Amino acid sequence: MSVTTSFEGPRAPAQSSSINLYRAVWRWHFYAGLFILPFMITLAITGALYLFKDEIDNVIHSDLKRIDISQIASKANPSDIVAAALAAVPGTAVKYTTPDNPAASTEITVSTAEGKRAVYVNTYTGEVLGSLPDRGTVMWTVRYLHSLKYFGTYARYFIEIAAGWSMLLVATGIYLWWPRNQTGGVLTVRGTPKKRVFWRDIHAVTGIFVGFFIVFLAATGMPWSGVWGGKVNEWANGSNFGYPSGVRVDVPMSKQKLDDISKTSWSLEQAQIPLSQGHDHGQGDSGHEGHSGHATMPATQQAPAMSDTIGINGAIARFEKLGLTPGYAVALPTNPSGVYSGSIYPDDLSKQRVIHLDQYSGEALIDMSYADYGPMGKALEWSINTHMGQQFGLANQIVLTLACLATLLLAVSGGVMWWKRRPKGSLGIPPMPQERRVMRGLIAMLAIGGILYPLVGLSLLVMLALDFAVQKIGKTKIA
């Protein structure tokens, strides 16, 4: 295939600086689109679906997640629900997820030799409704596809790269869209689908309206990325504890992190779990219900037998008294120094909460809510909540769904426009500007983004190397 380039843009007798800049921007807009087109399509489809995760899962898995409450009076004891789950799926119960509404089942996560399974139990009768692999619902599958988690750690790095390149795509797209005395293609669409100008205008007009959402979703998706997200998480949490600045805890901490045992908010993924210390731990303050308990005891003290714990019944009663919002998950202690960790991340950010209970006294070792987060933690959680379509209810879901559909249209129109424009047997790469200093200036600006996002910067270097290779091949063929 030939690498002959083509150019359609402003014409002038001489190659002015503005035309050279236009060429440079257009060339990198082409590269950005070429690179992230598959990612944009995949992310748009899976993202639109995941916005309605609860609604879709409740329909597809209604036999497991929904129960008939028309003739039911009272709930079964949590201990009986756990026992029923273990009778159906032998193993160790590691998490108890309460129903978020009266017609929802209770989910017990059981660790078995073959891996973890989610067992669904009727909250009132204690009847086991069935089980799935842990995080084995349809929408968890969609979420893993969205983040490329199915394909390993290195594949997830492409999400970070694609997010950075999508910002580049929007920035260069705005420059190319900017009105230059044309009468159409700014906010209106010319021609018919048979003509290239129709697809050019569809692409430009759609891009200018959806550009903001693409940048927002790319930026707010960065916290889940492999390199940038992990480093920012560690920096934001301070001392690797995962707790926002200003929240003081003075209890012995384990090396286990909250994200290892239960779904948690992004800013708390590195939060360490405190240790239960025994009968004498916090006995003088067992009724404490404030935030950030400070009780401590010598680490050498021996913990009593597990039979002396408050048990799951006592833990659930305690969490209910402390006011955790329904739908919270409880990570269960699996050793004498473990704690009952209750956490909830509802659509309403103000109700986000994490409470660690001493398994012997029932004291709240740590009780932290969204109000305790520092400014950066609050901003990050708000942006993530909005990214997932939760912050503003149905309106949030509808707006982001429309943005995802517009992104698909942007990708399709860009592909069709390129196919119609490219010379036969050529990639149709926009030409290099004749004034190389223009290209150097553009690369300098791109380097700023590369410094902020290291993987994006590395990918820019790779693309530059490929670009120079394409130029050399083109010159060789011409010669």
Report the chain (479 residues): mean pLDDT per 10 consecutive residues. 43 58 85 87 95 96 93 88 98 96 96 96 96 96 89 79 88 89 83 90 94 93 75 61 44 64 61 67 38 34 57 97 96 90 91 92 90 82 92 95 96 90 77 69 72 80 78 60
Residue 361: the pLDDT is 92
Report the pLDDT value the prediction gives residue 10, as an integer from 0 to 100.
44
Query: What span, in angstroms and rounded, lies between the C-alpha atoms of 150 and 315?
Result: 35
Nearest to 44 by CA among 166, 205, 208: 166
Domains and CATH numbers, the chain: 17-50+145-225+394-478 (no CATH), 72-136 (3.10.450.40), 249-373 (no CATH)
Is the separation of the CB atoms in 293 and 365 below 8 Å?
Answer: yes
pLDDT at 359: 94
d(CA 343, CA 330): 7
Q: How many CA atoms does the CB half-sphere of 444 hold within 13 Å?
A: 6
pLDDT score, position 404: 97
Please report the pLDDT score of residue 264 as a whole number.
63
CB proximity list for 464: less than 8 A, separation 6 or greater: 443
The per-residue pLDDT for 447 is 75
Q: 429: which residues sit within 8 A by CB, 6+ positions away?
A: 3, 5, 6, 27, 30, 470
Beta-strand relationship, 253-257 and 339-344 = unpaired
Cβ-in-10-Å burial (0-12, 13-18, 19+) of 463 comes to middle
Q: By the 8 A CB rule, do 332 and 92 touch?
A: no
Residue 253 is predicted with a pLDDT of 66
Between the alpha carbon of residue 470 and those of residues 29, 200, 319, 456, the distances in Å are 16, 25, 63, 21
Task: Give residue for tokens 């700014």.
Answer: 186
- pLDDT for the residue numbered 12: 42
pLDDT at position 301 is 35
**Cβ–Cβ < 8 Å for 267, 346:** no
* Res 317: pLDDT: 97
Cα–Cα separations (whole angstroms), residue 304 to 276, 332, 337, 338: 10, 17, 9, 12
Q: What is the pLDDT of residue 476?
A: 58
